[in-house]
Structure 1
Amino acid sequence: MEYVIEMNHITKEFGDFKAVDDVTFKVKKGEIHALLGENGAGKSTLMSILFGLYQAENGDISINEKPVKINNPNDANDLGIGMVHQHFKLVHNFTVLESIVLGKETTKNGFLKMEEARNKINKLSEQYKLKIDPDARISDITVGMQQRVEILKMLYRDNDILIFDEPTAVLTQQEIDELMKIMKDMTEEGKSIVFITHKLNEIKAAANRCSVLRKGKYIGTVDVSVTSKEEMSEMMVGRKISFVINKDECTSEEPVLKVQSLTITNKETKKDKVNNVSFNVNKGEILCIAGIDGNGQSELVQGITGLLPLTSGKILLNNEDVTKSSIRQKCIAGFAHIPEDRQKYGLVLDYSLKENAVLQTYYEPKFQKNGFIKFDAVKEYAKKLIDEFDIRSSQGEDSVVRGMSGGNQQKLIVAREIDRDPDIIIAVQPTRGLDVGAIEYIHKQLIAQRCTGKAVLLVSFDLDEVMNVSDRILVMYEGEIVGDLNPKETTVQELGLYMSGTKRSVYNEA
């Protein structure tokens, strides 16, 4: 049997921590092979070894049945291996064209020759239906477009082995469907794909086989067509996972958060990103803002939390006007915020886990005295969060956050925000990039907060999450609220009509 990738008995250690423990992983030519595992199971580490970012302590690798030594990503590229990373590796002030050719530039007499590259990129984008503007700046395009740029980067280098690390974590459902089709088209042309994901629906939709890692160890490989989602999730976490969300009826109509006539204008384009939006979030309620990415949800949350200035409107928390309050004042008043971009807004990446755990509370008497931090108290608090929220990292509370998996970074933020006992939790994509076990846990945490009378404002692009977790759904389209729906009385199809702007209803809540 012809394997394009053979990784035999791979072990990778970080200090005393075995991130990958004697793993054997094999991929056939022309298949989509899913790599499944919890956050911190070793999936990204294993693929980083294949891509030359890490060197294994033990084990050997063969590509197309020939033993190889991959010392760096250039070696990987020479062997036809390309990788789309979970957190994109793009230069923000470069154009799309410059980002794609970076490191593989065509030059003549010391001058860049871009026309040839532009033609090749245009041809590839047409062939794989990856429509992009080569002259757009990376900082100006959506994450979905950045994803396309990363894929074109691989295709431009004529890679035959493609590694997709959590490629759908930042995409809308439509973009996910497109990506699945593109991946299948690639395998039909003889390319082989390793697909790292937590989403069992996507594995069922796209993959041929699936290998499972748990806590750094290889659990097994299954044929996707004859294996159920429940069986795969149990292999992944070692226990049965409930996909049913149970919650009591919400009866309170006492508002915790009131948003009144909120408008946010983009300074550069002079366009209203949020246009005269009003709504209440009540005690014991999970209100979900749904919509296709880019319709003003991010700006709305940033306006409410204080990250963006308001053009007009008012924000009331427990009937107190907090419109002009600082971010810290809002936190003290009862706001908690699980941000959309965990690395940009949620964490200081070069701080340790324990330092990130007290980012919003370090000034409280329990953590400082006379301006000096009580390090023992901070350490004990971080240990408590690690235990309660199952945050996994190589060095516990002393781990540098940058080196933690994306899912464990997210768990740290959720732990920190919920543990502050807020009145309202504003959660944007709280389960993005998490495995089913962690998703189940975070959903339970949000519902537990709701059951104690807290309010939850959830922003999600995951339609399963929108339908299952929320008590009420508001749909945003082009900066306005166009629908107020009861998840028990609506369908995914109807929700889709509102999200695309095809259907709208009059909504007004002062």
Structure 2
Amino acid sequence: MTGPALSLRGVEKSFDGFAALKDASFAVDAGEVHALLGENGAGKSTLMNVACGLYAPDAGEVLVGGAPVRLSGPRQAAELGIGMVHQHFKLVRPFSIVDNVVLQGRGAGRRARYGASVEAAAEAIRAQGAALGFSIDPHARVDTLSVAEQQRVEIVRALVAGARILILDEPTAVLAVSDAERLLETLRELAARGTAIVLITHKLADVRRFADRVTVMRGGRTVATVDPAKTETAELTRLTVGDAPLSTVGRTSRVGRRRFEAIDLTCLRRDGAPAVDGASFHVRAGEIYGLAGVSGNGQSELAEALMGLRRVDRGAIQFEDAGQSVEAASPSRLRAYGAAFIPADRYSYALAGGLSVADNYAIGRVRRGDYGPVGWTRRGTIRSDAAAAVEAFDVQGVRSLDQKAALLSGGNAQKLVIAREFGGEPTIVVAQSPSRGLDVRASAAVHGRLAEARDRGAAVLLVSEDLDEVTALADRIGVMSGGKLVAEFEAPFDRQAIGRAMVDHSAPAHDAATAP
């Protein structure tokens, strides 16, 4: 290690009178992986947004290579070799990967750098992807990629731009275990070659295995910087969330009839190939059915179909209460069957960032007419209901019900979604990566709400690439591979058997006895 590549000292930052950062400090050396821990809303992303030029600090200083700098914006930060991969991606979805690289603010991504040939830029993307162990088609459109693939593109884009200080906000949150392991090993290799790596993460196991140092933030302040190899996990958890106990989730034996099922469900990609290939399974009242699999094996497309966001090309979704087959249903039609949805991409599908917290909470009920006719809505009732939900679901960072939802941290935005979706006590819940990017306390709160819905008799489908999350919550688990449902398991689970099914495309369907 050759000394601080990036330092932030005494940084303060407020938004509308709310102090997001209070005398916060952080430093990462060239050649190290430095993790940044803290609850959602602790100030981690805000501090790193100052480091990459997105926010100007109200006080304090930023130093690059020991020299103080005043960053005018992300372009200047990129010129100084600072790149950040944000938790919520900054890609232009209708454009190709190579066009997104070309559009980057500094000269690193412009056509001028590559001359007349965009293929030169494409080759740089291929080479960098290969170095990271990713296979990337530079001419693929971003909106055809899975969330995990978009994450990889963001990392490649930063490195192609010449980042020597690489900040990653929850980089493994959307990756399967094997992909996450490969990525973190790659980050270690980049650090060994002199790159300074800042790893914002909530996965303590990753911190202990891959980080040289870890800095903990709480309430906008720097709490401590320690060596994770010499610090117990319990102490890291205490530093992160304080001394309050975390809730635990048990399993239930009160299982009822089938609430809904997928029957030979098939969804095609744009090229006509099946993304979901004849998947059949059911979810019963009073159980959590976990759907596991390596990224890109059809889980996302299946979840989108169940949410009414993707066309069903063959097969059907059968709702027990309705007694009829529902194909290609709209989200509003599915909600009529008592369905609640927690999408993986909360800002694209679950929240309108430009609308207020109150409006985001009430929007579905406004459409149903619960607050009176459109144009004559009872605003006072909306505000009182929203305030009660914010308190009941511990949505922190809400300084006013009129503030934009986009100003909430990731964990608190997720809590707002859950407050809205669970407000009507749904009979069906489809949750895709519900704890993606959340800290340990927020994750425990989300898991607790899913368990509460199950215990009230709801049928809960949990779609997640985090095998720990699935095995901790589910009563039964189905594994998807190559677009097919290849195996089913019942608790108690054999983690190794599930892992083998996730990577073995020839695994026979329904390894375990199918539940009635």
Band of TM-score, shorter chain:
over 0.9
TM alignment of 1:493-504, pairs within 5 A: 493-500=496-503, 501-504=505-508
1:285 matched residue in structure 2: 287
155, 179, 183: which one pairs with 2:183?
A: 179
1:79 and 1:395 map into 2 onto residues whose CA distance is 35
Q: Give the C-alpha shift of residue 226 in structure 1.
A: 1.1
Q: 1:46 is matched by which residue type in structure 2?
A: L
1:377 and 1:321 map into 2 onto residues whose CA distance is 36
174, 177, 198: which one pairs with 2:202?
A: 198
Gaps of at least 5 residues in structure 2 are: none
> Is the partner of 2:90 in helix, strand or coil?
coil
Q: 2:497 is matched by which residue type in structure 1?
A: E
Q: 2:250 is matched by which residue type in structure 1?
A: K
TM alignment of 1:45-444, pairs within 5 A: 45-102=46-103, 103=105, 104=107, 105=109, 112-114=116-118, 116-242=120-246, 245-266=248-269, 268-310=270-312, 311-318=314-321, 320-321=323-324, 323=326, 326-364=330-368, 366-369=370-373, 371-393=375-397, 395-444=399-448
> Is the partner of 2:501 in helix, strand or coil?
helix
1:35 matched residue in structure 2: 36
Contact 1:233 1:240 in 2 (8 A): no
Cα pair distance change 1:269/1:120, threshold 3 Å: closer
1:6 matched residue in structure 2: 7
Contact 2:191 2:197 in 1 (8 A): yes
The C-alpha deviation readout for 1:333-362, integer Å capped at 9, x for no partner, is 311111122122111221111111012111
Contact 1:91 1:99 in 2 (8 A): yes
Cα pair distance change 1:204/1:457, threshold 3 Å: same
Contact 1:106 1:113 in 2 (8 A): no
The size of the alignment, in residue pairs, is 507
Gaps of at least 5 residues in structure 1 are: none
Contact 2:252 2:455 in 1 (8 A): no
1:109 and 1:484 map into 2 onto residues whose CA distance is 51
Q: Give the C-alpha shift of residue 460 in structure 1.
A: 1.1
1:122 and 1:256 map into 2 onto residues whose CA distance is 46
Contact 1:100 1:150 in 2 (8 A): no
1:333 and 1:387 map into 2 onto residues whose CA distance is 28
2:205 and 2:283 map into 1 onto residues whose CA distance is 31
Moved more, 247-256 or 77-86: 247-256
Q: Give the C-alpha shift of residue 454 in structure 1.
A: 2.0
Contact 1:278 1:509 in 2 (8 A): no
TM alignment of 1:453-464, pairs within 5 A: 453-464=457-468
Q: 2:14 is matched by which residue type in structure 1?
A: E
TM alignment of 1:465-476, pairs within 5 A: 465-476=469-480
Cα pair distance change 1:283/1:130, threshold 3 Å: closer
| TM-score normalised according to structure 2 size | 0.92
Cα pair distance change 1:207/1:240, threshold 3 Å: farther
Contact 1:100 1:152 in 2 (8 A): no
2:112 and 2:344 map into 1 onto residues whose CA distance is 43
489, 492, 495: which one pairs with 1:492?
A: 495
1:252 and 1:108 map into 2 onto residues whose CA distance is 63
Contact 2:263 2:315 in 1 (8 A): no
Contact 1:163 1:193 in 2 (8 A): yes
Q: 2:315 is matched by which residue type in structure 1?
A: S
2:395 and 2:244 map into 1 onto residues whose CA distance is 20
Contact 1:203 1:224 in 2 (8 A): yes
Contact 2:358 2:382 in 1 (8 A): yes
1:363 and 1:99 map into 2 onto residues whose CA distance is 37
Moved more, 424-433 or 306-315: 306-315
Q: 1:283 is matched by which residue type in structure 2?
A: A
> Is the partner of 2:363 in helix, strand or coil?
coil
Q: 2:74 is matched by which residue type in structure 1?
A: P
1:18 matched residue in structure 2: 19
Moved more, 114-123 or 82-91: 114-123
1:455 and 1:210 map into 2 onto residues whose CA distance is 40
1:109 and 1:100 map into 2 onto residues whose CA distance is 11
> Is the partner of 1:33 in helix, strand or coil?
strand
> Is the partner of 1:221 in helix, strand or coil?
strand
The C-alpha deviation readout for 1:141-172, integer Å capped at 9, x for no partner, is 33333223222222223221111111112222
Q: 1:94 is matched by which residue type in structure 2?
A: F
Moved more, 90-99 or 282-291: 90-99
The C-alpha deviation readout for 1:350-401, integer Å capped at 9, x for no partner, is 1111111012111456522575111111111111111111112353322211
Q: 1:446 is matched by which residue type in structure 2?
A: L
Q: Give the C-alpha shift of residue 35 in structure 1.
A: 0.8
Cα pair distance change 1:285/1:409, threshold 3 Å: same
Identity of aligned residues (%): 35
1:282 and 1:123 map into 2 onto residues whose CA distance is 47
